[in-house]
Structure 1
Amino acid sequence: MSSFTVPRNVPSFGNPQRLAEDRLWASSGMASRNSRGHGGVLDNVQHSVDSFLRPKSQLPMYKDKPYTYAGSRRIRPHWRRKRSLLALVFFSICGLWFFGFFSGDSSSRRAASQWSWMGTSEAPGKKVDWLKRRERVVEAFELSWDAYERYAWGYDEYHPIAKTGKMMAPEGLGWIIIDSLDTMMLMNLTSRISHAREWLAETLTWDQNQDVNTFETTIRMLGGLLSAHYLSTEFPDLAPLADDDAGGLGEDLYLEKAKDLADRLISAFDSESGIPYASVILSKYEGKPSHGDDGASSTAEATTVQLEFKYLAKLTGEKFYWDKVEKVMQVVDDNGAEDGLVPIFIYPSTGQFRTKNIRLGSRGDSYYEYLIKQYLQTNEKEEIYREMWDESLAGVRKHLITYSSPSRFTVLGERPSGLDGALSPKMDHLVCFYPGTIALAVTGGLTEAEARKLPSWNQQKEDDMRLARELTQTCWGMYKWMATGLAAEITYFNIDNPPLPESAPHNPPDDFDPDPDAAWRKDFDVRANDVHNLQRPETVESLFYMWRITEDPKYREWGWEMFKSFVNYTAVDEGGGFTSLSNANRIPPVPRDNLESFWLAETLKYMYLLFSPNDLLPLDKVVYNTEAHPFPRFDMGQLFSTGWKRKPRDAEGKIIR
């Protein structure tokens, strides 16, 4: 490992955006939050939990792998599509009950006051107060965080119904704490950040004999620490703490912890090909191949660590971080994937793809996301990634886009047997990151109105924005179809045989008729094993991008409706916070008794940003990693460059040999 000592004062890359961002940030009203109270729903939060909690388990890998729920004996797949007004009213009351609305003690009365908005409706035509709605998101975060802090502090997993925690390593990895740092900073939750920093400084160690997933640990832990470093240094008025000020004892705490972790994770890249092994033993600085899939790594996992290590390289001046993750992109691209679409497994030993499965769902998704985001991260200087993105989007249109029947919603399917095989009309919820990413690629983070004034605007960009709108609507339909208004993990669609091509005429309804017998409902098909909802962020992520870029208020309204469904149907009684669901297509739903860390890191953060002024973390100044951790865009400077070139290709993207 390098002997480089992390500097106490990290340069701001000489980018003049900092002062401009500070002014914009101040105008967003964040400074006024410094004086807000920190009581919330759960007051007098305890900072420890009982010692009976279980010590160890395997790393969950929720981000890239849909969890398949087999159902319980208590609830066999006997769920109904029709919504009952009585059931909705009943469960709305239950939602308020979960927050202690009808309890008599003082803390419950405070909760009743705080959440009484759930029982009221806004006057028609009244101007929406989005900052007030944003406060509701903060309250939901506080409820979740304070429950975790009270019942499972320091544990990597939290089970809100049992009110217990669980470790994923002997001494804990900070799975929930680190993933939530930047959300708390944005919300200006100073006392909670202070407690988290105390745990990082006094308890967290990476020197543990623990096998961790390379990708998950990079995007959540390394990404969370780097984002916390960025926000705390560039925006010191957010959740201000004296010990992280310039010259303070903990000034570089986040960066020091990040570098220690990165030096362990980077050992995963010491394979014969440079493709990272699926996991790493932290204390041994040793990569390990996957236990399954014949030792192959997930393609998405191997290619969704670049933003994190490139930003760390820029911060520390350690070029080998950059070189290691850049090499991965070259190895993947040297396979010569047809039309820019890559199979979902790749061998670290040879750098060759395994199987022909093509999809933008699990194990494939964020490869495409990081193509355009790497281009944006270095201020649009690395054209190689823009070219790869453009090829992949054209390939998606050619091979994966079709339309449902009878309503003709736009569907992004899969090719399990390769591009020559049949199209499967299956969409993981994970796929719903894609429409927002398309819009981001079209405008580079500018509003659509601004981008249209540029000479670079053309018909292709027009078509791409149309596709982004159509896919966002399909993803929102996944929510509207379910009884709780919360999407299933996987949705299938009824399509024509053979599937309609992307060029086929289509004109789906603008709105989703609530009638349980409405024609649009026939297009969607959710199967019994797929009815779980894991609090995933992908759709609200796209709503956030679509609102910022198109400025169409319907995306905010959809997000608000989604948020209310989460509050109504995932709240846990007795102050437990919120939980994922095993069955989201029945009322009352069946809880799963698990809080996903990305509920705090992504879902609620994107809700907060969706309801915030658009100059809070503006899209043309930052880039979000796949766990919603914001990093600054930067210039490569003298030390860094794109160190590889693509091999010549034919019209289908195949390498000319």
Structure 2
Amino acid sequence: MLLVRKSYALPAFFFTFLIYLLFTTLPPGAEVSYSKHNSGHDIIGSAKDDRIHWTKPAEQYPIADYISLPTTSPCPIPQIQYDFPSESWYARIWRQRKQNAVKKAFNHAWKGYKNNAWLRDELSPVSGGSRTSFAGWAATLVDSLDSLIIMGLMDDFEEALQALEYIDFSTTESIQINVFETNIRYLGGLLGAHDLTDGKYPILLKKATEIADFLYGSFDTSNRMPQSRWEWTRSAEGLRIRPSGNTILAELGSLNLEFTRMSQLTGNPKYFDAIQRIQDNLELAQKNTQIPGLWPMLVDAHSMRFTDTRYTVGGMADSTYEYLPKEYMLLGARTQQYRRMYESAIKPIKERLLFRPMTKDGKDILFSGNINAASWSSQKIIEPQAEHLKCFLGGTVGIGAKVFNRSEELSIARKLTDGCIWAYDIMPTGIMPENLYLSPCEDMQDCQWDEQKWYRDVRSRPPKHANIAETDAAARVLIETLHIFPDVTEIADARYMLRPEAIESVFIMYRITGEKKYQDAAWRMFKNIEKTTRTKYAHAAINDVRNLKPVHLDYMESFWLAETLKYFYLIFSEADLISLDEYVLNTEAHPFKRPS
């Protein structure tokens, strides 16, 4: 009997091991290191049965007649990209070496995410853990899909597609959904990958439809304006929601491209209807705000009042303006509405927001500041804040100059882009901070360096130093204490968050002008960023761009892979890869196919 028992021991062991494998195997691509760096949370797809799921409840305020995509004949859109000549073999080798360096950095960060935070929103690049930041639907994975395609990493892309099956967009543990961020990262990421692969992978449009239908629930309000921080469980339970009285402008005005593309691909007009109602309201109010042509940072989306006095094209407003020429292109110029809105906005941007900073070397560059309408009429004071988020503006003005035949504004686009390059170059690390304040020129055409004016501006800039003695000596002490250098009056936020806006405009201006100086600037920027932010697991935000050995902060937002490294890769690619005459890039750098 003992011999018989021994003869069954080995098969029994293998049978038990097989059962174990069948019921414990992780989703495709999840590696053993995943469990080491995460604190025991359930993998997506194994949610408890008692969680609320979105099942398209009956609408509280249904639409009787949808606004359809425009069907008028398209107008011709001028060419955006420069006609690049054939490059020499020598130039091609050096360009490809730089491109491969960017791809190597991407692979390092992607591997870190895949091995340590797979199917989580973000990798924590210092500790090797993970963060839930956007509803827990694997933001980095979805946001990076088209980057994988563009860089030719198709094995990784196929693996990510398998993992996509495990993401359940019908439920989340998040109480509120940030509609804007979900739209640009998730929906944009799926649509971009779909368009780049010509619809070869049905799961991409299937998942895009799931997330679009989910987000559509946020529009079910009395005036059909979305609740931007959506209490989605109320909607799921059949309760009413209302738009916020303090809605961020960018979160209201930057849903156009993604929802328009959904209607174009599915033939369902409800998506375009949803965003077109917003744009009609914005156009109606545009010339009646306190600064006609611009919208304030905050909007009462319930009553559609625009009473906030703060105006900017930076954070909280940026992509509303960015999307005007891009929506015009995505619609094939079949409506002039977005041209009108852009032309109404660009005039006060030039007249009210742009300023030239005083620099020791007399550089003719531009930045966009902020204004408060409450004091503008009497004091005409611009807040000379240069902000990394505002660095998108050079590219947007460049595109607007081309597609709307406003060639005189191409020089403004150059100066805005050159300003952000300059802000990188003057920092010890070669990286621009989140925001800094500059000394504005009194004369935009003739601006000589004035040491005393710089001292005055330094003394007056930080409110907490309002009582400082009005002497040059006191200003010099303040400059040394706050680590300020010439041309700058204050560095209000010295972090670098792995942001893409500067390289975005550098890339666009290179594709528009063909000028190699933009490639050279991009290479300087990339080398400094990669060296300074690299960690064992990936790349990390840093605490202070003035410090040659800054502290790494334990977060890496999904836009590092979706945008920043994509733009660095594309500026060293062949010019026909994601041509600006064939694609529109959303504010998360996801390419949507333009109508032919």
* TM-score, length of structure 2 as denominator length: 0.75
Distance in 2 (alpha carbons) for counterparts of 1:381 and 1:371: 14
Residue 399 (str. 1) matches residue 349 (str. 2): no
Match of 2:430 in 1: 485
Residue in 2 that maps onto 1:632: 593
| 2:324 paired with 1:371 | yes
Alpha-carbon distance between aligned partners in 2 of 1:617 and 1:507, rounded to the nearest angstrom: 42
Of 319, 322, 334, which residue of structure 1 is paired with 2:284? 334
The one-letter code sitting in structure 1 at the alignment partner of 2:487 is D
Q: CA deviation at 1:195?
A: 1.9
Deviation, structure 1 residue 283: 5.6
Instruction: Tell me the secondary structure at the aligned position of residue 311 of structure 2.
Output: coil
**Which residue number corresponds to residue 306 of structure 2?**
353
Residues 172-181 or 346-355, more deviating: 346-355
Counterparts in 2 of 1:274 and 1:44: CA distance versus 1, 3 Å: closer
Counterpart of 2:337 in structure 1: which amino acid?
I
The residue number in structure 2 matching 1:145 is 110
Aligned residue number for residue 522 of structure 1: 486
Q: How far, CA to CA, are the matches of 2:538 and 2:556 in structure 1?
A: 8
Task: Give 2:112's aligned amino acid.
Answer: A
Give 1:596 shift. 1.3
Give the one of 562, 580, 590 matched to 2:551: 590
User: Match for residue 59 of structure 1?
Assistant: none
Q: Distance in 2 between matches of 1:526 and 1:485?
A: 17
Larger mean Cα displacement after TM superposition, 329-338 or 304-313: 329-338
Aligned: 1:428 with 2:428: no
**Partner in structure 1 of residue 579 of structure 2:** 618
Look up the equivalent residue of 1:404 and give its one-letter code: P
Distance 1:324 1:187 in 2: 34
Answer yes or no: is the 8 Å Cα contact 1:47–1:149 preserved in 2: no
Match of 2:496 among 518, 530, 533: 533
**Structure 1: unaligned runs, 5 residues or longer:** 1-42, 57-124, 235-244, 246-250, 445-455, 509-515, 636-657
- The corresponding residue for 2:39 is 53
Distance in 2, matches of 1:154 and 1:623, equals: 28
- Is 1:411 the counterpart of 2:367? The answer is yes
Structure 2: runs of 5 or more not aligned: 1-28, 43-89, 450-478
Structure 1 residues 366 and 44: CA distance shift in structure 2, 3 A: closer
User: 1:20-68 CA distances to partner (integer Å, 9 max, x unpaired)?
Assistant: xxxxxxxxxxxxxxxxxxxxxxx99657434842759xxxxxxxxxxxx
Helix, strand or coil at the partner of 1:525: strand
Residue number in structure 1 paired with 2:147: 183
Question: C-alpha separation between the residues in 2 aligned to 1:212 and 1:564?
Answer: 36
Change (3 A) 1:44 1:253: closer
Q: CA deviation at 1:230?
A: 0.9
Distance in 2 of aligned mates of 1:588 and 1:603: 22
Per the TM alignment, residue 168 of structure 1 is displaced from its structure 2 partner at its CA by 4.1
Q: After TM superposition, list the pairs within 5 Å mapping 1:297-312 onto structure 2.
A: 297-312=247-262
- Alignment match of 2:192 (pick from 227, 233, 258): 227
Count of residue pairs the alignment pairs up: 476
8 Å CA contact 1:206, 1:282 repeated in 2: no
Name which one, 1 or 2, has greater alpha-carbon Rg: 2
1:43-101: CA deviation from partner (whole Å, max 9, x where unpaired): 99657434842759xxxxxxxxxxxxxxxxxxxxxxxxxxxxxxxxxxxxxxxxxxxxx
Structure 1 partner of 2:122: 157
Which of 336, 352, 362 is residue 315 of structure 2 equivalent to? 362
2:125–2:539 contact (8 Å) kept in structure 1: yes
1:88-99 to 2 correspondences below 5 Å:
none
**How far apart are the structure 2 equivalents of 1:339 and 1:169?**
35
The aligned counterpart of 1:569 is 532
2: CA distance between counterparts of 1:507 and 1:380?
44
1:479-503 Cα shifts (integer Å, max 9, x gaps): 112111111000211125xx54x6x
The separation in 2 between residues aligned to 1:388 and 1:614, in whole angstroms, is 30
Deviations along 1:182-222, whole A, 9 cap, x unmatched?
Answer: 00011111221122111111344432353210000000001
Q: Is the 8 A contact 1:275 1:347 kept in 2?
A: no
Do the aligned residues in 1 keep the contact of 2:122 with 2:139 (CA within 8 Å)? Answer: yes
Give the partner amino acid of 2:110.
W
CA distance in 2, matches of 1:288, 1:161: 40
1:270 & 1:45 partners in 2: Cα distance? 41
Query: Which residue is 1:29 aligned to?
Result: none
1:442-464, Cα deviation, whole Å (9 max, x unpaired): 223xxxxxxxxxxx96xx51x30
Cα RMSD after superposing both structures: 2.7
Residue 556 of structure 2 aligns to a residue in which SS?
A: coil
Shift of 1:567: 1.5
Distance 1:253 1:478 in 2: 42
Aligned counterpart, 2:419? 474
Distance in 1 between the 2:516 and 2:258 partners? 32
Whole-Å separation in 2 of the counterparts to 1:560 and 1:429: 18
* Counterpart pick for 1:443 among 402, 415, 418: 402
Aligned to 1:601: 562
Q: Which residue of 1 aligns with 2:440?
A: 495
Q: Which residue of 2 aligns with 1:74?
A: none
> Is 1:554 the counterpart of 2:527 in the alignment?
no
- AA aligned to 1:475 is C
The one-letter amino acid paired with 2:316 is R
- Tell me which of 388, 396, 417 is aligned to 2:341: 388
CA gap of 1:161–1:209, structure 2 versus 1, over 3 A, is: closer
Instruction: Indicate the SS of the match to 1:208.
Output: coil
Structure 2: how far apart are the matches of 1:137 and 1:546? 19
Amino acid at match of 2:158: S
Q: Deviations over 1:382-404 (max 9, x none)?
A: 21111211121111111112222
Deviation at 1:522, TM superposition (A): 2.4
Distance 2:235 2:145 in 1: 26
Deviations 1:362-416 (A, max 9, x none): 1111111011111111122221111211121111111112222243532311103
> Over residues 83-125 of structure 1, what are the superposed CA-to-partner deviations in whole Å (9 max), with x where a residue is unaligned?
xxxxxxxxxxxxxxxxxxxxxxxxxxxxxxxxxxxxxxxxxx9
SS in 2 for 1:394: helix
**Residues 397, 410 of structure 2: 8 Å contact kept:** yes
Q: Deviations over 1:139-184 (max 9, x none)?
A: 10000000111111111121111110133478x2111100000000
Q: Which residue of 2 aligns with 1:31?
A: none
Residue 608 of structure 1 aligns to which amino acid in structure 2?
A: Y
SS of 1:482's equivalent in the other structure is: coil
SS state at 1:368 partner: helix
Measured at CA, do residues 169 and 627 of structure 1 come closer, stay the same or move farther in structure 2, by a change above 3 Å?
A: closer
What is the deviation of 1:298?
0.7
Aligned partners of 2:256, 2:231: CA distance in 1, in Å? 20
What is the Cα deviation at residue 591 of structure 1? 1.1
- Match of residue 116 from structure 1: none
Judge conservation of contact 2:247–2:301 (CA < 8 Å) in 1: yes
Once residues 594 and 440 of structure 1 are traced to their aligned partners in structure 2, the CA distance between those partners, rounded to angstroms, is 32
Cα distance 1:226–1:366, how it changes in 2: closer, same or farther (>3 A)?
Answer: same
Q: Aligned to 2:165, what secondary structure does the other structure show?
A: helix
AA aligned to 2:540 is T
Q: Which residue of 1 aligns with 2:18?
A: none
* 2-structure distance, mates of 1:583, 1:590: 7
Whether the 8 Å CA contact 1:156–1:167 is kept in 2: the answer is: yes
User: Aligned with 2:578: secondary structure?
Assistant: coil
Aligned residues of 2:366 and 2:416 also touching (Cα < 8 A): yes
Task: State the shift of 1:316 in Å.
Answer: 0.7
**Alpha-carbon distance change, 595 to 168 in structure 1, aligned in 2, over 3 angstroms:** closer
- Aligned equivalents of 2:311 and 2:126: distance in 1? 38
Q: How far did 1:263 drift?
A: 1.0
Q: Is the 8 A contact 2:38 2:130 kept in 1?
A: no
How far, CA to CA, are the matches of 2:420 and 2:585 in structure 1? Answer: 20
Question: Which string of whole-angstrom CA distances, capped at 9 and with x for unpartnered residues, describes residues 304-330 of structure 1?
Answer: 110000000111111011011011011
